[in-house]
Homo-oligomer: A and B are copies of this chain.
Amino acid sequence: MSVTADATTYPVDQRNRVKRRHDRGFYDHATVHALLDAAILCHVSYVVDGQPYCTPTLFWREGNHLYWHGSSASRMLRNLSDGQPACLTVTHLDSLVLARCGFNHSADYRSVMCFGQARLVEDAEEKRRALVMMVDRFFPDRTAGLRQSTAQEIKATAVVVMEIERASAKIRAKGVADDDEDYELPVYAERLPVQTVIGAPEPCPRLLPGVARPANLAGYRAGRLLEEALAEAHVQAYAPG
């Protein structure tokens, strides 16, 4: 199977080719980016002295670049600062699948693995911009109304960027899928949906009188799928103009 890389598809090699269940694999930008932009949490893998680490972190996408941040003192960020191979993965769990035999028990999910070289953002202007988008990508235009960052805060925050060199998405969305002959068995089977939803916002108890929830947070409303609000905010944050 050969996949041609063009403007809208990530190149495929043995790092990112979906080997198992390749019918579930996608490499196009639209699929990969949609799964990334519907998330705020990722897991990043990196290697220190042969030991793999899997670190959860908040992240966001800007074009073909992924950004995440942390303390300048963190183990992960110190080791990535000079350009280290990394793998950033996002997974959306959509269901548990109870089948008629153990082998067909499964889950519906949408995941994406991105490969590249992670490096510390050292350019002052790029870092300043990233620290704005770290907030505004999730909550558009929020930074303008905040107490501005101090030089010490900027120094204490490390920002990492990784250009996506390879990526693959893997999607299972078929619920119960038993062997043909097993449908004749008197065994209960179901798809059990799983959703990550927003709860009722909890305003800080120390808000000053008259300070109300800004209208542009309306997308983050109780009961809504978190991924919908995140994807919508991403579109707003990076809208042309």
The residues of A with any CB-CB pair to B shorter than 8 Å are 15, 19-21, 40-41, 43-47, 50-56, 58, 70-71, 73-75, 85-89, 91, 93, 95-96, 98-103, 105, 107, 109, 111, 113, 115, 131-132, 134-135, 138-139, 142-143, 145-150, 153, 156-157, 175-176, 178, 182-204, 206-208, 210-214, 217, 220, 226
A201 to B208, CA, bound (A): 44
Q: How far is the CB of A96 from chain B (nearest CB, A)?
A: 7
Q: Which of B54, B150, B195, B197 has a CB less than 8 Å from the CB of A89?
A: B54
Are the C-beta atoms of B188 and A19 separated by less than 8 Å?
no
Q: Decide: A182 near B147, CB < 8 A? Known: A139-B98, A188-B203, A193-B202.
A: yes
Chain B residues with Cβ under 8 A from A175's Cβ? 202, 204
Q: Which of B109, B113, B207 has a CB less than 8 Å from the CB of A188?
A: B207
Q: Which residue of B lies closest to A39 (CB)?
A: B93
Are the C-beta atoms of A50 and B47 separated by less than 8 Å?
yes
Are the C-beta atoms of A206 and B183 separated by less than 8 Å?
yes
A-B contacts besides A43-B43, A147-B187, A188-B212, 11 pairs, CB < 8 Å? A19-B73, A43-B56, A43-B89, A51-B115, A54-B54, A100-B147, A103-B149, A185-B208, A188-B207, A193-B199, A194-B199
